[in-house]
């Protein structure tokens, strides 16, 4: 005995409104399509991020090792301390480096003390 349903059996089980979708069914299909597209975008961005991380690893490791070999005085000259070495590649750290002691000062407003 074959448990599969043939196309004629399937068509006979559906009400006679063959060919037309109800508005609820159309909304469901559109929502499913949008969900599938979003999942596809997420998978592509995750794969891209993974590939980028694997490709950048040797460079990051080399920079980390070079910074680790510097003395505390040399690190201070470039605005770092030994604890900052592990955070060099973080986005928040990059934003903070713009405010380093040896960075050019921004112009102050005229009424600032």
pLDDT tens digit string along 18-58? Answer: 456 688 888 999 999 999 999 999 999 999 999 999 999 99
Q: Is residue 82 part of a domain?
A: yes
Residue 63 lies in a domain: yes
Cβ neighbours, 10 Å, residue 85: 16
pLDDT score, position 83: 84
58 assigned to some structural domain = yes
In a domain, residue 77? The reply is yes
How many H helices and E strands in the chain? Answer: 4, 0
Instruction: Give pLDDT tens digits for 56-102.
Output: 999 989 988 999 999 989 988 888 888 888 888 877 676 665 555 55
Range of the domain at 58: 52-103
Enter the pTM of the model: 0.47
Per-residue model confidence (pLDDT) at position 36: 96
User: Number of structural domains, the chain?
Assistant: 1
How far is 60 from 53, CA to CA, in rounded Å? Answer: 9
Answer yes or no: is 70 within a domain: yes
């Amino acid at each position: 005995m074959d448990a599969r349903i043939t196309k004629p059996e399937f068509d006979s089980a559906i009400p006679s409104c063959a060919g037309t979708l109800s508005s609820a069914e159309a909304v469901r299909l559109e929502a499913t399509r949008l969900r599938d597209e979003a999942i596809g975008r997420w998978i592509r961005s995750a794969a891209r991020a993974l590939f980028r991380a694997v490709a950048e690893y040797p460079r990051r490791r080399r920079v980390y090792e070079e910074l680790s070999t510097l003395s505390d005085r040399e690190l201070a000259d470039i605005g770092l301390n030994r604890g900052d070495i592990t955070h060099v590649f973080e986005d928040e750290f990059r934003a903070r480096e713009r405010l380093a002691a040896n960075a050019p000062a921004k112009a102050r407003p005229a009424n600032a003390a």
